[in-house]
């Protein structure tokens, strides 16, 4: 059986479409766990409607605690051998569960990942997000899958959705509560726990891009700080475990520091900017490339990240 976990918070406009796409799945052996995370619109009533209609629907209500806490509540109440997360404003293709499960089983994998559609709020598909090169990849170890996150030519996503997991992966893992970028915090330990990851080259998930979602909401200092913490955790781990990935993680962190200054130069608090400058200097000299351009960029960043952000277009 598959346990499908759907956190729900103020999505009355999209919830019917999401739940209906799940209930009409060609694969029928699942439980749908709807976690109402303190919604203040009609989302709870919509959840109740489906709980009464279909015995596979389980409804859990809690005070608003955020996406990570809602997912953890779902995990704590899941009974399936497999776990699947679906965002409540998204929807899935009819064979989503069947094909992901077949892919996972046939390849003796712990995680199965599919490509996905980008859709607008009305559900109209306008793009397909495919796996990048090399095209001959179909199965990797979990560690190698995660390691590709740091490769220049291949950057798969680390989101919870568009994947089917063996439930055993979450035996000792839960999402970090109270933080943004919850998917990125759990990505390394989750993928490192997987022996095999199988890639299904077919778009089966519909990711709906909407202005009011968590991912597209306005940036704020808490988001900066949580992103910074995520980078620091990765750097600390790789420092003692993989020198090459340590350099990649440091480079990503320094690029992020430059990028947020470049994009938000008029909004950054001076104290926070000073903190970021110190962070950049702490990792001065640690780079994945030693070309003259890379060395110059690193030197300028150590002197003043604001100066390098102004020269970003030529560096």
pLDDT tens, position by position, 81-113: 999 999 999 999 999 999 999 999 999 999 999
C-alpha of 212 from chain center: 17
Q: What span, in angstroms and rounded, lies between the C-alpha atoms of 32 and 50?
A: 10
More confident residue, 223 or 6: 6
Q: Phi and psi (nearest 5°) for 268?
A: -70, 135
Higher pLDDT pick, 167 / 293:
167
Helix (H) or strand (E) holding 157: none
d(CA 268, CA 2): 45
CA 58/CA 35 separation, integer angstroms:
8
Prediction pTM value? 0.87
pLDDT digits (tens, 9 = 90+) for 281-311: 888 888 887 788 777 777 877 777 666 555 5
The two tokens of residue 177 are 């509560």
What the chain holds in terms of domains, given with CATH numbers, is 2-208 (3.90.550.10), 221-310 (no CATH)
d(CA 231, CA 184): 9
Find where tokens 């699947």 sit: 84
Beta bridge partner(s), residue 186 = none
Rounded-to-integer distance, Cα 314 and Cα 192, Å: 37
Mean of the per-residue pLDDT values of the chain: 87
């Amino acid at each position: 059986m598959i346990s499908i976990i759907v956190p729900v918070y103020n999505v009355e406009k999209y919830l019917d479409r999401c739940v209906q796409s799940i209930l009409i799945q060609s694969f029928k052996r699942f439980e749908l766990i709807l976690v109402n995370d303190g919604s203040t619109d009609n989302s709870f009533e919509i959840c109740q409607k489906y709980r009464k209609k279909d015995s596979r629907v389980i409804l859990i209500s809690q005070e608003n605690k955020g996406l990570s806490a809602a997912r953890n509540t779902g995990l704590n109440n899941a009974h399936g051998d497999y776990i699947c997360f679906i965002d409540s404003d998204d929807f899935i293709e009819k064979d989503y569960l069947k094909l992901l499960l077949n892919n996972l089983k046939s390849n003796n994998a712990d995680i199965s990942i599919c490509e996905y559609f980008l859709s607008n709020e009305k559900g109209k598909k306008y793009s397909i997000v495919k796996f990048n090169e090399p095209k001959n990849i179909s199965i990797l170890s979990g560690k190698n899958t995660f390691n590709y996150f740091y490769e220049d030519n291949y950057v798969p996503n680390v989101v919870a959705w568009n994947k089917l997991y063996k439930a055993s992966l979450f035996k000792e893992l839960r999402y970090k509560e109270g933080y943004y970028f919850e998917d990125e915090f759990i990505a390394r330990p989750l993928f490192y726990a997987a022996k095999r990851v199988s890639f299904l080259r077919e778009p089966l998930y519909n990711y709906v891009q909407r202005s009011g979602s968590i991912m597209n909401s306005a940036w704020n200092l808490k988001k900066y700080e949580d992103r910074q913490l995520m980078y620091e955790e990765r750097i600390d781990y790789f420092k003692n475990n993989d020198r090459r990935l340590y350099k990649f993680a440091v480079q990503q962190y320094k690029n992020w520091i430059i990028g947020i200054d470049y994009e938000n130069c008029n909004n950054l608090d001076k104290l926070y900017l000073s903190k970021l400058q110190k962070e950049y200097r702490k990792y001065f000299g640690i780079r994945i490339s030693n070309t003259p351009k890379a060395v110059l960029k690193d030197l300028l960043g150590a002197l003043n990240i604001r100066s390098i952000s102004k020269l970003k277009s030529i560096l």
